[in-house]
A and B are shown apart, each in its own frame.
Chain A
Amino acid sequence: MLEQLLRLIAEDGVSTCEDLARRVSVSQPLLEAMLEELARLGYLRAVASGCAGHCTGCSMGGCSVIGQGRVWILTDIGVRSVPQGAAGAGHTA
């Protein structure tokens, strides 16, 4: 199931938790738990939203335009774990 999730993430480029939960047929809380697991295993990394810490010297003040909510990115290990161009053609969990 995590392999399927990784493939979908790599295939979509950019996804929302809601989309992914629907496509893997799990609830959104379970999807979030799976993302956290993938992060623990080193396949994903949570990045801070907004520009926290970089506002010093910013001429226009705050710029946290992304709002709340985390953003997860595929790490190098995550990218390597999904064969290039093989999205959707991988194993069955």
Chain B
Amino acid sequence: MSTVVAPSLPGEAGLTVALAGQPNVGKSTLFNLLTGLEQHVGNWPGKTVEQKTGTYRSDGLVLHLVDLPGIYSLTVNSPEEVIARDYLLRVRPDVVVAVVNAASLERNLYLVAELIPLVARLVVAMNMMDVAADQGITVEPRVLAAALGVPVVPMSAARNQGVHELVETVARLARGEIPCRPSLPEIRQDHRQVLAQLRSLIAGSVPEPYPEEWAALKLLEGDAEITAKVSEHLPADVWQQVHRILMAHEDAVLSVAGGRYEWIGRMIRAAVTRPRAGQITLTERLDRWATHPVGGVALLAGILGLVFWLTFTVGRPLQALLDRAVVHTLGNWVSAWLSAAPTWVRGLVVDGIIGGAGMVLTFLPILAIFFAVLALLEDVGYMARAAYVMDRFMHLMGLHGKSFLPLFLGFGCNVPAVMGTRIIESRRARLLTILLAPLVPCAARMTVVVFFAPLFFGRAAPLVAWGLVGGSMVVLAVAGVFLGRWVLRGERAAFIMELPLYHQPNARTIGLQVWHNSAQFLKKAGTLILVMSVVIWALSTLPQGQIETSYLAAIGRALAPVGALMGLDWKMIVALLSSLVAKETSLVTLGVLFGAAGNPGGLGAALSTSLTPASALAFLVVQMLFIPCVATVAAMRQETGSWKWTAFGVGLLAALSFAGGVVAYQAARLF
């Protein structure tokens, strides 16, 4: 509820001038320049908002200045807007100066569009002309003045330029020496008739100080304060009619605000020229490819292929070198050092810790390449384009638009993908996205792919890795379409992305991100993976000290018939099961079960002699589609709030991965 908030002004005769404008447009600088030491700072009556008044004197001209709080519009959304609107309506200053930022007229003219119908004498002080010039923006004050129908004074308050001209314009306007024919924003034809209808209904019943035309417009906009005031003063039957009209035209607010933006657009087109060189042109040129519905997807697929190629040609040899030089050498050295220790101690340290957690550490070069490429693509501004083209692609397949954003996060880790579904309002759409999120191959799954593919597929490894990612996406899309028929009938969704300008990557930013992510991985290797290495080693040793008779072997053998359909022996099945803890754990398990630390060729050599390419492919397919890690399952439970849906998701993924593994193995055997 607003109150009368007229500031106290000196008794001396002069003009009352209010300075209105958005925050940070240089309004206070202008006020200080004009008033100097003759200013008073207090609070607006009954408010905690600062009130500044002051006096300007020069050559017999006296201006009593009021610095209104910074506001974006005259809709009473904030205490500042309540104060400014009340002041303008009740005090009716002789002249209102709308201070605008010349470099950002698109945002600043909205307030001018609201002031023009309300204020009798308005001057636009176009401040920050120097900032606009620095940005290459050209604004023609005369053209703008002609288009607005009110005087426009170009100025740079920070440089004390144009202040004298502003004072002169204010004085001349008050004396009636400058003709004003303001151009008013218009609204849609049908709403114009509604406005006229409202105006005739409220005529004579609008309380002071609200002008009738303005009050009718605010009613149409749904302004709460004006609605309350008018309803208090109108006879009940007339108010009922007004209310009915307003209910039938709830969308009129869009028409009124839209009319203002159309008006702003006309002003901008008339008076503002923005630069179209350098960075912007480069961005537009690159985006013709990067955001093209077909070309953009092809480019993304190409970039993905390049990442795999880079990983295999640079990361994989480094990993193999670390595996041989560090894990194997360290394993031998520690084994010799512990020769006098009990067998179980040697087994725990060499086979469990070094063979498991130590082996996973050798993947750091591969992950560092992933992290670096991801950080580079993000830093140059490409990642937003990738999200954009993939979303269009998924739309074509009938998938929900809003779902893509969280799904894309899944390439890093499935946990934030599931958590990220919170941006989706519709419960059914959220549920579908949560169920699909684990099908996005996370970086941990990709580590397993990057390790396996070159061992079994040689030069075709990048193609296999690329196909596995593409295949996962196809399964995700098919599952999405299938589930969508049951879960998401007829829903529409839309979103808009602000694509940042492309720019040169910053080595420090990328370096910091790689360092941060690598440190996170090392921390995990030193905690969860280390513990898992010990647990898996214990399960593979107990109770008789032999792998073949261990608890782990018993579990694996129980599931062997299932594995046989996919060409996987019990060790591979156990590795898959252990990936439920964390996806990299399957490599830990294989490291322990195949005795990576004791093998001169490392785990790679041990695996390549034990598995056929068809079995390896089946293993990778299952790994890509399998039940996610426990952290993701916990996130699914938290976000769905239902054990039933969590179980459904887990069951769906288990079935999909099993079917995928069987199909991949049986198909690969044909070649």
Interface residues of A, Cβ cutoff 8 Å to B: 1-6, 9-18, 20, 25-27, 29-30, 32-35, 37, 40-41, 43-44, 47, 49-51, 54-55, 57-76, 79, 81, 84, 91-93
Are A37 and B408 in contact, CB atoms less than 8 angstroms apart?
A: no
Are B415 and A79 in contact, CB atoms less than 8 angstroms apart?
A: no
Supply 14 A–B pairs (Cβ within 8 Å), ascending by A. A2-B257, A3-B255, A4-B258, A9-B495, A14-B495, A16-B498, A33-B264, A35-B496, A59-B442, A61-B412, A62-B513, A73-B493, A81-B254, A93-B262
Is B401 interfacial (CB 8 A cutoff)?
yes
With A and B bound together, what is the CA distance between A3 and B190 in angstroms?
14
Return chain B residues, CB-CB under 8 Å to A12.
Answer: 494
Given that A3-B258, A27-B106, A61-B521 are contacting pairs, would A13 and B494 also be in contact in the complex, using a CB cutoff of 8 Å?
yes
Are B188 and A91 in contact, CB atoms less than 8 angstroms apart?
A: yes
A86 CB → nearest B CB, Å: 11
Are A41 and B261 in contact, CB atoms less than 8 angstroms apart?
A: no
**Which of B291, B402, B413, B423 makes the CB contact (< 8 A) with A59?**
B413
Are B497 and A16 in contact, CB atoms less than 8 angstroms apart?
A: yes
Is B637 interfacial (CB 8 A cutoff)?
no
With A and B bound together, what is the CA distance between A79 and B631 in angstroms?
34
**Which of A10, A26, A35, A50 makes the CB contact (< 8 A) with B494?**
A10
Look across to chain A and name the residue whose beta carbon is closest to the beta carbon of B582: A59
A34 CB → nearest B CB, Å: 5
With A and B bound together, what is the CA distance between A73 and B188 in angstroms?
26
Are A62 and B516 in contact, CB atoms less than 8 angstroms apart?
A: yes
Given that A37-B110, A72-B495 are contacting pairs, would A60 and B413 also be in contact in the complex, using a CB cutoff of 8 Å?
yes
Are A2 and B494 in contact, CB atoms less than 8 angstroms apart?
A: no
Is B268 interfacial (CB 8 A cutoff)?
yes
Given that A51-B420, A59-B415 are contacting pairs, would A1 and B499 also be in contact in the complex, using a CB cutoff of 8 Å?
no
Interface residues of B, Cβ cutoff 8 Å to A: 77, 104, 106-107, 110, 188, 190, 251, 253-255, 257-259, 261-262, 264-265, 268, 272, 274, 284, 287, 291, 367, 371, 374, 378-379, 381-384, 386-388, 391-392, 395, 401-402, 404-405, 408-409, 411-413, 415-416, 419-420, 423, 425, 442-444, 490, 492-500, 513, 516-521, 524, 582-584, 629, 631
Known: A1-B265, A13-B492. 7 other contacts (CB 8 A): A14-B495, A17-B497, A18-B284, A29-B104, A67-B379, A71-B405, A72-B497
Return chain B residues, CB-CB under 8 Å to A49.
Answer: 384
Return chain B residues, CB-CB under 8 Å to A41.
Answer: 253-254, 257
Given that A33-B107, A67-B381 are contacting pairs, would A58 and B265 also be in contact in the complex, using a CB cutoff of 8 Å?
no
B478 CB → nearest A CB, Å: 20
**Which of A1, A34, A63 makes the CB contact (< 8 A) with B416?**
A63
A41 CB → nearest B CB, Å: 6
Return chain B residues, CB-CB under 8 Å to A44.
Answer: 496
A37 CB → nearest B CB, Å: 6
Pairs A-B, 10 closest by C-beta atoms: A63-B412, A61-B520, A2-B258, A61-B517, A51-B416, A69-B498, A30-B106, A1-B258, A29-B106, A54-B419
Are A51 and B409 in contact, CB atoms less than 8 angstroms apart?
A: yes
Are A93 and B409 in contact, CB atoms less than 8 angstroms apart?
A: no
Are A65 and B409 in contact, CB atoms less than 8 angstroms apart?
A: yes
Are B391 and A60 in contact, CB atoms less than 8 angstroms apart?
A: no
With A and B bound together, what is the CA distance between A12 and B318 in angstroms?
46
Return chain A residues, CB-CB under 8 Å to B379.
Answer: 67
Return chain A residues, CB-CB under 8 Å to B499.
Answer: 16-18, 69
A6 CB → nearest B CB, Å: 7
Return chain B residues, CB-CB under 8 Å to A70.
Answer: 497-498
Return chain B residues, CB-CB under 8 Å to A81.
Answer: 251, 254
Given that A1-B259, A2-B257, A69-B499 are contacting pairs, would A60 and B387 also be in contact in the complex, using a CB cutoff of 8 Å?
no
Are B412 and A71 in contact, CB atoms less than 8 angstroms apart?
A: no
Are A66 and B419 in contact, CB atoms less than 8 angstroms apart?
A: no
**Which of A2, A10, A76, A92 makes the CB contact (< 8 A) with B261?**
A2
Given that A14-B391, A54-B420, A62-B517 are contacting pairs, would A68 and B401 also be in contact in the complex, using a CB cutoff of 8 Å?
no
**Which of A58, A67, A74 makes the CB contact (< 8 A) with B383?**
A67
A70 CB → nearest B CB, Å: 5
With A and B bound together, what is the CA distance between A3 and B518 in angstroms?
48
Return chain A residues, CB-CB under 8 Å to B425.
Answer: 75-76
A10 CB → nearest B CB, Å: 5
Are A73 and B497 in contact, CB atoms less than 8 angstroms apart?
A: no
With A and B bound together, what is the CA distance between A47 and B409 in angstroms?
14
With A and B bound together, what is the CA distance between A71 and B497 in angstroms?
5
Are B392 and A14 in contact, CB atoms less than 8 angstroms apart?
A: yes
Return chain A residues, CB-CB under 8 Å to B77.
Answer: 40
Return chain A residues, CB-CB under 8 Å to B251.
Answer: 3, 81
A67 CB → nearest B CB, Å: 4
B495 CB → nearest A CB, Å: 4
Return chain A residues, CB-CB under 8 Å to B188.
Answer: 3, 91-93
Return chain A residues, CB-CB under 8 Å to B284.
Answer: 18
Look across to chain B and name the residue whose beta carbon is closest to the beta carbon of A76: B425
B194 CB → nearest A CB, Å: 13
Given that A1-B261, A14-B391, A16-B291 are contacting pairs, would A65 and B374 also be in contact in the complex, using a CB cutoff of 8 Å?
yes
Q: Which of B261, B367, B444 has the most CB of A within 10 A?
A: B261
Given that A14-B401, A60-B413, A79-B492 are contacting pairs, would A1 and B262 also be in contact in the complex, using a CB cutoff of 8 Å?
yes
Return chain B residues, CB-CB under 8 Å to A2.
Answer: 254-255, 257-258, 261
